[in-house]
Structure 1
Amino acid sequence: MEVYYQLIRSDQELSRACEELSQSNVLGLDTETSELDPRDGILRLLQLSNGEQTYVFDLLAFAEMGDLRSNKALAPLRDLLANDRQIKVLHNAKFDAKWISHHLGCELGKCFDTYLASILIAAGGSDRRHSLADVAQFFTGIELDKTEQVSDWTQRDLSASQIEYAARDAKILLPLYEQMAERLRNDGLEKAAEIEFSCVTPIAEMELAGFFLDRERWLGQLERVQLSRNAVSEDLQEMLSAGVSQNSLFGRAEINLDSQPQVATALANIGVPIQDTTKAWQLQPLAEKYPVIDKLLQYRAIQKAITSYGENILEYVNDETGRIHADFRQIGAPTGRFSCSNPNLQQIPHDDAYRRCFRAEPGNKLIVADYSQIELRILAEFSGDPQFIDSFVSGKDLHSMTAAQVFGVEQDAVTPDQRSFAKRLNFGIVYGVGASRFGMMTGLSTSEAENMMRRYFGTFRMLDAYLRESGSTVIKDRIARTASGRMLKLTFDENDKQQVGAARRYGVNMPIQGTSADILKRALRLFHDQIAGTSAKIVNTVHDEIVAECRVDEAKTVSEILRNTMVQAGTEFIKKTPIAVEIRVSDDWSKSN
């Protein structure tokens, strides 16, 4: 692919280039940087292409004149990047948006992300990759040479090969845009793509803002957890010792508590009726009857916390900011949910002891907002079941109402255990749990579980009809969609009952969980726009939760903005069932603060 480019190194050249580029409706945009983290390196090149001419801005030349963020000569470039008059086409736009924000001091305007578009079009398929080279080859047949990608971008004089490589990466984005925009339209993915593209900047800014972690609190918590682990381990070894076959001349025989086979053998030897494995969901129903199982589950929870959330978390605290700047992948699952790494902030234990370690900096407050039972509300909306919807419209407690129906008691006579049981049933329905699995989860026999679910669906008849019809449709069409049109293509062997059953459950759940993801992403964008000009920053998000940080004097205002934008996002997709948001202003992430 031939590319005509001009290297821009002066104020006059930059002004003329930006004037010409401003005449185009769509621009290809790419950057070349010396590192992956914008705090650790330089933003060397920024490339913009209108398809005919590509301009390569050498920002090192402008950095020699002073700080890029305050350089007035770069104002035309900032305006071009930030405005919504032109669509900027990028691949993995979040990466470039972070560098542009951190080094140039402006937010990326309206964008089209070919990386996110490729994942949406793949619809859950894992048969191809989504790098720029792979996407270009797949959609245009053009092969990109990526040799210069890992070259030295800090040297004063770049080679012609480096500059041509940079220019080509920007130009290829224009034919890619044309192909992918048409494919998104044909696949009914335009609204889902709009949600994803508009969420790029809020996520980029969230990662730049980071989440403050109190080192001393964290180390103190780890010390307490270690002591707890030692005590639980000692108790568990004692409880299992009777089931250890070997004898010891020097005291109690011990086993490796992290070895499933050894633990399973010991449990069987002391008469605990376990299945072939010792997975948590199989053990949970036995915990009340067998104290050793309860102790084992305690041990595993503590051990997992130590392994996953120990001192290693402190390695991710930035020395300059004192904050964790995790990496959020926008489409971390086919449902559209985020995933998170380096570290995974979405998997921080819910215990207040852990979450209180994440706090607002002095002079600030955290605003923590959760959608209340959002997936159940989505299910009520989709099913159209009048009783299900009424439980939310009237403000009744859905779990107590469900318990009253399935246990045949008055609602004011429902016990905490019955409500807890009904809560598991309600959420189990969302994930397509059957009678057999529900029985294992609760300790009921299969027939008891079947009777329980029969009474449940006798109460919510349209819900039952919706789930049946939805399951049949996804198996027939092999496609599931969210309210935005986000698509999942189901692959299974129609002659394999287990595969068909798994596909049915996943296909029924995907529209519910995926619509929840659509709503959250829409809320992130709405909130981001509304807090412009305030001190507020989004610092974390977990499935149905948004965490923001702001000055103490702005906390009340920001909390109202967050509540309103989250409700607004929900009502764009859910019309009959009310959206509820639980919100709190706190010094830290814990619920008890």
Structure 2
Amino acid sequence: MPKTCFVIDAFAHIYQFFYAIKGLTGPDGEPVNAVYGFARMIEMILERYRPDYLAVAFDGPGELARHQVYEQYKANRPPMPEPLERQLPLITELLDAHEIPRLTSPGHEADDVLAAVAARAAQEDIDTVIVTTDKDAEQLIGPRTRVLHIRKSGEEMLDDRALKERKGIEPRQVVDLMSLTGDSTDNVPGVPGIGPKTALELIRRFDTVRNLYEHLDQVPRDSIRKKLKEHRDAVETAERLVRLNPDVPIDLDLARCRAGTADRAKIHAFYRALGFGSLIREAPPVQRARQSGLFGQDQEPPPAPHATLDTIRTVETDYSVVTDADGLARLVEELARQDAFAFDLETTSLQPRDARIVGIALSWRPRQAVYVATDGPPGAPLCPLEAAIEALRPLLEAERPAKLGQNLKYDITVLRNHDVRVAGLRCDAMVASYLLDPGSRGHGLDALARRHLNYETVKIAELIGEGRNAITMDRVPVDRAAPYACEDADVALQLCRLLSERLDREDLGDLMARIEMPLIPVLADMEWVGIRVAADQLAAISAQIAQELAALERRIHGHAGHEFNVNSPRQLSRVLFEELGLPARGGRRTTGHSTASDVLETLRDRHPIADCVLRYRELAKLKSTYADALVGMVSPKTGRVHTSFNQTVTATGRLSSSDPNLQNIPVRTPLGRRIRQAFIAGADDMSLLSADYSQVELRVLAHCSGDPALRRAFEEDRDIHRFVAAQVNDVAEQDVTDAMRQQAKAVNFGIIYGLSAYGLSNQIGLPVPEAERFIRSYFDRYPMVRRFIGATIDRARRDGFVRTLAGRRRRVEGINASGAARSAAERIAVNTVIQGSAADMIKLAMIDIHGGLPAVSARARMCLQIHDELVFEVPHAERDAVGRFVTERMRNALPLDVPVKVSLAVGRNWAEAK
């Protein structure tokens, strides 16, 4: 799923909370009502929606650009009340405590900044949610942008469908509607006597203001027609004032906008200073949301006892250091008597292949740990690293005692540098937290300690510093490194014990033991192996793409009749819609129409420049993201790329990959295949073997729904899309056209993601009524699918969560809300069951294959996992045996009531093996 950026309209909510929350003062008697409302809103957004990025938009300094359009713009606004003005520095402190960036653009209002953020985010493949009280932001709603209104009556999330249902208009008509009515709040002129109801009737009938004025004689009422004629200039002025400008300059650094990464101790200190006790008290997100609304009128409840966090200085610990053979022997003897222990490595690098071990911390009892110091500043008493490893090796490689920790994949990979193969992994606190709350991103040790242990850990920056001045851990004195390392092992131990109990209570213990923990060494081995990449091929591809980009740029300039910056949306918009006169989709901004990809797609049949620009963008992205970037990711030690497989990121249970992200390389485009050709087998006598589940999510749907027709199609190994097309269109399979099959394919996969008639219409170009008929006919043919979807949604409403076939659990926020929020939650509920079960299936297959592959082929290795596909490196002579073994294990990983099909392909490179 795409990442999401929430951007808040600051002053809209500052004023809102100031007037809605009465009489709230801090310990010093100063008003804090606006600060409190704003803080509650931030906490609600972080907990309920869990955005990936969060920022706040403010009006920029200087004279507003809109005053040049209309001098009386906002002239009726009274000055800011003095009690509110005194709270602005506190709101700045609040945002600083949360580390939320403040975005402005000189001469422009916050609304324009919101538009600019949405435009920039879409270019980065990130969805945007605009949090505002202003209705003019609804013009920004689109495929990648929604609007969240927070009011006394509750929250309302608007997408294009919800806007249509609520107001009867599309996002492109928002500006037209407001141009007729004006906006008294901002002193925007409109047509006197035309209120929202009349304006809505006019827009519904004539679609746009432009069309309205072109057919003014068709307006039925003389009085309305007369007003429209007399005030046409006011309408045009209003249009210029209301339309938001996405091209205003903003300093948007998404890395600084990452949500939920701030130091909670700092935030709580700010809350305590203002007497916001209820914002500190720990409570599950849903319970906290019910305690009181954002607009609670009552005075803040009497402060609870301060939620002071424990630290290493406030609790009694038994942390010690081992630097000699005798101490090491006593430690090993003590550990051997334990049922389990936690361990943590201190190293010199975050890259496990490059990391040198500085020390090993071990904990077997809460508040007790030992640090084996193996590296440090000159003169420090140290235990030789190899001696420490050899002493601990028997314990680490044995199934008992069990091993606990935090992000164990890193530690066991570092130990692999020393030929230690850690066994007996029982609990990784990060993975346990993820299973309990897969929608959260806060699974780091610091966040978990604060959340579950009320404990503030020592930060690594306190030891090594930050930025350019940071030092490596081997330069930190042992007497400072030891408490830090012991604390990490100790906290991991405590978290594992606590979270394991919760896993059992919530029926997740079996999933942890059967899938997630055994998967850790599988992923560690895959990362260690990596995959060979032909850097010379990538360099050649990059050079070839550069030539194609230059040629495309010349063709684009030729179509335009002059040179311009193809990468500038402003310049491209001018060329497309002003100079070439192509029809634009959506409203016109003050700097031009949108040139987003979906707009260019609609222009492909009208002018060849659109196809050229789309191709140019595709090539430019592939060049920068893969052809150029991959070369720098090839390890000089191995000549291979070692991607990281992320186990605790996606809410459905799917794995993701990073550095590089191999899951976004296009599969079916010629250029994507060329990139894949650079991924090659590691030796001349080896091939790449790809094993891909065939339509696994549809097979899971057939199993879960029990629909007899769907099950029969898979049992008879039919072309499922042709089969469905024939049934829905009531024709023989041999009479199904390509268009029919494409429609059926879109619906087959779309059902899993809650595809609406509107969405199907956009996807395959059908009129909405025809798309509605197709979906209705689908459910008539497959009634058990409809029943399964309804039952899944009902369970989610009843329980607040859904489960996959393997028992994975996901809480479904918003399932009992209304409008777009409920629709989104319903889609999540169904998709989680289907996609999450498919994710469980391939994880189980990976674990089974990893355990049995060495007996089939000593040299074959599992290299990559991409969605439903596994890629292996296999000797030529053993590829048939490996193929049979892999197919059998994948088919039987998670038995279904329908056959599971695996497609095999073999080649010298990844493109051939696809």
Question: Which residue does 2:506 correspond to in 1?
Answer: 187
Q: How big is each residue's C-alpha offset from its partner over 1:402-455, in whole Å with a ceiling of 9 and x where there is no partner?
A: 121233321022233432332222111121110011001111110010111122
C-alpha distance in 2 between matches for 1:23 and 1:552: 48
Q: How big is each residue's C-alpha offset from its partner over 1:14-38, in whole Å with a ceiling of 9 and x where there is no partner?
A: 4443233122112111111111123
Question: Which residue does 2:831 correspond to in 1?
Answer: 509
Question: Which residue does 1:568 correspond to in 2?
Answer: 892
Paired letter, 2:625: S
Shift of 1:493: 8.7
Shift of 1:468: 2.8
Structure 1 unmatched runs, 5+: 242-251
Secondary structure, in 3 states, of the residue corresponding to 1:570?
coil
Question: Which residue does 2:562 correspond to in 1?
Answer: 253
Shift of 1:285: 6.8
CA shift in 2, pair 1:282/1:37, >3 Å = same
Shift of 1:477: 4.2
Q: Does 1:590 align with 2:904?
A: no
Shift of 1:334: 0.9
Question: Which residue does 2:713 correspond to in 1?
Answer: 391
Contact 1:97-1:108 within 8 A present in 2 as well: no
Q: Does 1:330 align with 2:647?
A: yes
Question: Which residue does 1:19 correspond to in 2?
Answer: 333
If asked which structure has higher relative contact order (CA below 8 Å, sep 6+), I would say 1
What is the 5 A alignment of 1:253-292? Answer: 253-260=562-569, 263=572, 266-268=575-577, 270-272=581-583, 274-275=585-586, 277=594, 279-280=596-597, 284=601, 287=604
C-alpha distance in 2 between matches for 1:231 and 1:98: 46
User: Once structures 1 and 2 are overlaid, which stretch shifts more, 49-58 or 200-209?
Assistant: 49-58
C-alpha distance in 2 between matches for 1:505 and 1:289: 35
The partner residue of 2:751 within 429, 432, 437 is 429
The partner residue of 1:306 within 592, 611, 623 is 623
CA shift in 2, pair 1:19/1:65, >3 Å = closer
C-alpha distance in 2 between matches for 1:136 and 1:207: 28
Paired letter, 1:349: P
- Identity between Structure 1 and Structure 2 (%): 30
Secondary structure, in 3 states, of the residue corresponding to 1:531?
helix
Q: How big is each residue's C-alpha offset from its partner over 1:508-550, in whole Å with a ceiling of 9 and x where there is no partner?
A: 2122111222122222221211124622322211111111223
Question: Which residue does 1:197 correspond to in 2?
Answer: 517
Q: Does 1:165 align with 2:452?
A: no
C-alpha distance in 2 between matches for 1:524 and 1:500: 35
Shift of 1:338: 2.1
Secondary structure, in 3 states, of the residue corresponding to 1:337?
coil
Paired letter, 1:308: T
Question: Which residue does 1:248 correspond to in 2?
Answer: none
Q: Does 1:541 align with 2:854?
A: no
CA shift in 2, pair 1:410/1:260, >3 Å = farther
C-alpha distance in 1 between matches for 2:759 and 2:642: 39
What is the 5 A alignment of 1:426-505? Answer: 426-475=748-797, 477-492=799-814, 496-505=818-827
Paired letter, 1:489: R
CA shift in 2, pair 1:59/1:535, >3 Å = farther
Question: Which residue does 1:247 correspond to in 2?
Answer: none
Paired letter, 1:578: P
Shift of 1:215: 1.0
Paired letter, 1:175: Q
Aligned residues: 571
Contact 2:342-2:490 within 8 A present in 1 as well: yes
Question: Which residue does 2:853 correspond to in 1?
Answer: 531
Shift of 1:471: 3.1
Question: Which residue does 1:416 correspond to in 2?
Answer: 738
Question: Which residue does 1:339 correspond to in 2?
Answer: 656
Q: Which has the larger radius of gyration?
A: 2
C-alpha distance in 2 between matches for 1:198 and 1:258: 47
Contact 1:34-1:42 within 8 A present in 2 as well: yes
Secondary structure, in 3 states, of the residue corresponding to 2:416?
helix
C-alpha distance in 2 between matches for 1:551 and 1:333: 34
Paired letter, 2:813: T
Contact 2:340-2:402 within 8 A present in 1 as well: yes
Shift of 1:257: 3.4
C-alpha distance in 2 between matches for 1:380 and 1:280: 35
Q: CA RMSD in A?
A: 2.8
Question: Which residue does 1:555 correspond to in 2?
Answer: 879
C-alpha distance in 1 between matches for 2:794 and 2:554: 51
Contact 1:50-1:174 within 8 A present in 2 as well: yes
Question: Which residue does 2:494 correspond to in 1?
Answer: 175
Q: Does 1:47 align with 2:364?
A: no
Contact 2:519-2:847 within 8 A present in 1 as well: yes
Paired letter, 2:369: T
C-alpha distance in 1 between matches for 2:456 and 2:736: 65
Contact 2:373-2:478 within 8 A present in 1 as well: no
Structure 2 unmatched runs, 5+: 1-314, 377-381, 465-470, 588-593
Paired letter, 1:539: C
C-alpha distance in 1 between matches for 2:479 and 2:677: 53
Shift of 1:585: 2.5
Q: Does 1:577 align with 2:577?
A: no
Secondary structure, in 3 states, of the residue corresponding to 2:842?
helix
C-alpha distance in 1 between matches for 2:602 and 2:734: 26
Contact 1:285-1:441 within 8 A present in 2 as well: no
CA shift in 2, pair 1:280/1:123, >3 Å = same
The partner residue of 2:665 within 348, 371, 387 is 348
Contact 1:539-1:548 within 8 A present in 2 as well: yes
Shift of 1:400: 0.8
C-alpha distance in 2 between matches for 1:265 and 1:499: 37
Paired letter, 1:320: K
CA shift in 2, pair 1:388/1:265, >3 Å = farther
Shift of 1:292: 5.0
C-alpha distance in 1 between matches for 2:505 and 2:363: 26
C-alpha distance in 2 between matches for 1:405 and 1:184: 44
Contact 1:140-1:179 within 8 A present in 2 as well: no
CA shift in 2, pair 1:100/1:592, >3 Å = closer
